[in-house]
């Protein structure tokens, strides 16, 4: 039933992994595990992630339904495993987590290799310098804002203190949002086609983002034009930017392990828009829809406000999200029309069919 999704997920993970391995081999570099110090190596982390997804579903039910009574716990667990953790669900969770994990780790490594893969051909001899199109995108930004700096306009309109702290946490919310979103759709989407839709679209988006980094390498206005952001209050987001600069300098000097600076396109924009689109099409809650669309809008503002991205980066991120969302929907057999989705929700399906319901 999900053959096209299987093929695309495995294909993307395999292609990204192969790209990362070949690049590392050519550069004589080691592949890094971006979160290796937290949960250990991949052969330990992947089983932990899969077990964690299961426990994340079961433990709250044990607490709520069994009221922590030992005698009632086995019955609650058996019922949930029988009705929810079917073979199709286990395949979805396992394939989704493993494919996304390989894609994301490959993305992080390829992003780190970027300065060495695309060095500046005009750099002085003996100087390691990355190719950058920041000047061109900066000129485009000023043209779009009629000769003004987008960051300066936002700082004057929104202020540089309270707003900076609010937008900082909006921007940093992206870090836990990604794994939480993947887990939510894989584990709790009653219509498993939505789970495949979400994780497939995610893998497509991270892959397209990686390609965009290599097509048009930049470091972003906050790093290239630092003076424009000196008036901002010190926030966790600014601390993060300083840390990324140090990591990048270490890699360029040949003493660092991994750098994560790349501007075009904005995956913060792409992934938050992708989340908003998925909520819009698969969840009926108006509150949830408002929350994700507001989050998307504020994230776009934050990318410009702090200098993480140029306007072109955000526009490219929007395009990536739309392409990923559509392709993910096509390979998982989605009908994008609202009446069709409502009709499908009202039609009962066989008990053994993976499409038991079309609501998440």
- Residue 103: CA count within 13 A, CB half-sphere: 26
Q: Which residue from 206, 179, 167 is spatially nearest to 294, judged by alpha carbons?
A: 167
Looking at residue 65, its pLDDT comes to 73
Tens-of-pLDDT digits for all 360 residues of the chain?
Answer: 667 888 899 999 999 999 999 999 998 888 877 755 444 455 566 677 677 778 887 887 777 777 767 777 777 778 777 887 888 888 898 899 889 989 999 999 999 898 888 888 877 776 677 888 999 999 999 999 999 999 999 999 999 899 999 999 999 988 888 888 888 888 888 888 899 999 999 999 999 999 999 999 999 998 889 889 988 888 998 888 888 888 888 877 777 777 888 888 899 999 999 999 999 988 888 999 999 999 999 999 999 999 999 999 999 999 999 999 999 999 888 887 764 454 444 333 333 343 333 345
Residue 34 domain flag? yes
Task: Tell me how far the alpha carbon of residue 265 is from its chain's centroid.
Answer: 12
pLDDT in the model for residue 32? 78
Q: Assess if residue 358 is contained within a domain.
A: no
Q: For residue 344, give Cα distances in angstroms to 1, 25, 152, 268, 284.
A: 17, 49, 49, 32, 14
In sequence order, the 6+-apart residues with CB closer than 8 A to the CB of 145 are: 153
Residue 22 neighbours by CB distance under 10 Å: 10
Q: Is residue 360 part of a domain?
A: no
> Is there a domain that residue 39 lies in?
yes
Query: Which range marks the domain in which residue 332 is found?
Result: 3-346
Both tokens assigned to 122: 């005009």
pLDDT of residue 354: 38
Answer whether residue 271 is part of any domain. yes
Residue 130 DSSP label:
B
| Tokens representing residue 187 in the block | 């584990």
Q: Which residues of 58-92 are buried (b: 16+ CB within 10 A; e: fewer)?
A: beeebeeebeeeeeebeebbeebeeeebeebbeeb
Q: For residue 311, count other CB atoms closer than 10 A to its CB.
A: 20
d(CA 317, CA 268): 8
Long-range contacts of 283-286, Cβ-Cβ distance < 8 Å, separation of 24 or more: 283/359, 283/360, 284/359
Q: Is residue 357 part of a domain?
A: no
Enter the pTM of the model: 0.85
Q: What are phi and psi of 255, to 5 degrees?
A: -115, -5
Per-residue pLDDT, 59: 81
Residues 6+ apart with CB under 8 A from 21: 31
Q: How far is CA 360 from the centre of its chain?
A: 20
Closest among 134, 189, 156, 66 to 313, alpha carbons compared: 134
Burial of 241: CB neighbours in 10 Å, binned 0-12, 13-18, 19+: buried
Residue 73 within a domain: yes
Does residue 359 sit within a domain? no
Spell out a b/e string for 257-268, using b for 16 or more CB atoms within 10 Å of the CB, else e. ebbbbbbbbbbb
**Tally of structural domains, the chain:** 1
Say what the pLDDT of residue 340 is.
47
């Amino acid at each position: 039933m999900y053959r096209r999704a299987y093929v695309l997920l495995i294909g993307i993970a395999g292609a990204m992994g192969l790209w990362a391995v070949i690049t590392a081999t050519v550069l004589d570099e080691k592949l890094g595990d971006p979160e290796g110090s937290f949960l250990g190596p991949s052969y330990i982390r992947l089983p932990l992630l899969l077990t964690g997804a299961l426990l994340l579903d079961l433990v709250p039910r044990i607490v709520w339904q069994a009221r922590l009574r030992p005698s009632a716990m086995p019955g609650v667990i058996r019922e949930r495993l029988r009705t929810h953790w079917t073979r199709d669900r286990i395949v979805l969770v396992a394939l989704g987590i493993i494919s996304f994990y390989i894609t994301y780790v490959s993305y992080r490594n390829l992003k780190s290799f970027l300065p060495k893969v695309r060095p500046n051909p005009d750099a002085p001899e003996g100087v390691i310098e990355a190719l950058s199109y920041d000047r061109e995108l900066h000129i485009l930004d000023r043209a779009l804002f009629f000769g003004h700096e987008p960051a300066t306009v936002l700082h004057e309109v929104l202020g540089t203190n309270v707003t900076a702290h609010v937008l900082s946490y909006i921007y940093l919310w992206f870090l836990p949002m990604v794994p939480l979103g993947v887990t939510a759709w894989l584990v709790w989407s009653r219509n498993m086609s939505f789970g495949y839709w979400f994780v497939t679209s995610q893998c497509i988006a991270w892959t397209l983002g990686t390609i965009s980094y290599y097509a048009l390498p930049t470091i972003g206005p906050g790093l290239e034009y630092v003076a424009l952001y000196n008036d901002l209050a010190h926030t966790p987001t600014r601390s993060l930017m300083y840390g990324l600069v140090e990591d990048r300098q270490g890699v360029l000097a040949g003493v660092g392990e991994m750098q994560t600076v790349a501007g075009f396109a904005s995956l913060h924009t792409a992934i938050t828009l992708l989340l908003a689109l998925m909520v819009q099409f698969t969840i009926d809650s108006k509150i949830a829809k408002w929350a994700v669309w507001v989050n998307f809008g504020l994230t776009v503002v934050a990318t410009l406000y702090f200098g993480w991205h140029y306007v072109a980066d955000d526009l490219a991120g929007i395009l990536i999200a739309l392409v990923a969302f559509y392709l993910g929907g096509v390979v998982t057999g989605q009908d994008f029309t609202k009446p069709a989705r409502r009709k499908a929700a009202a039609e009962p399906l066989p008990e053994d069919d993976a499409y038991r319901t079309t609501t998440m």
